[in-house]
Amino acid sequence: MQDRLGELQDQAVERQFLESVLRSDLETVLPTVKAMMAQNQTLFWQTWQPIQQRYLSLEQRQSLRSLITSPLSSTPSIEPILSPD
């Protein structure tokens, strides 16, 4: 989920950067790049919607709320792994 949202943010930053450097709308100066970015955004939304729906479900929200609000009963001890010298 974090990767998908990061990709969306990256694309928005790239578009803003290109438009500020070119001092024009991408559609006017680089229509092919603009079309590729639009296609990527469509693909993003197609992969994002199932993830979004999962987290919008009442069952999933209740499960996450329970996980966050329930204290851990005990912290498992972690033994250090020693590598042979």
pLDDT in tens, 27-74: 999 999 999 999 999 999 999 899 889 888 999 999 989 988 987 765
Residue 85 lies in a domain: no
Q: Which helix (H) or strand (E) holds 52?
A: helix 31-56
Domain that holds residue 29: 2-61
Q: Which helix (H) or strand (E) holds 65?
A: helix 58-69
Structurally, the chain folds into a number of domains equal to: 1
Record the tokens describing residue 13, joined without a space. Answer: 């930053």
Residue 14 lies in a domain: yes
Residue 43 lies in a domain: yes
The yes-or-no verdict on residue 3 having pLDDT over 90 is no
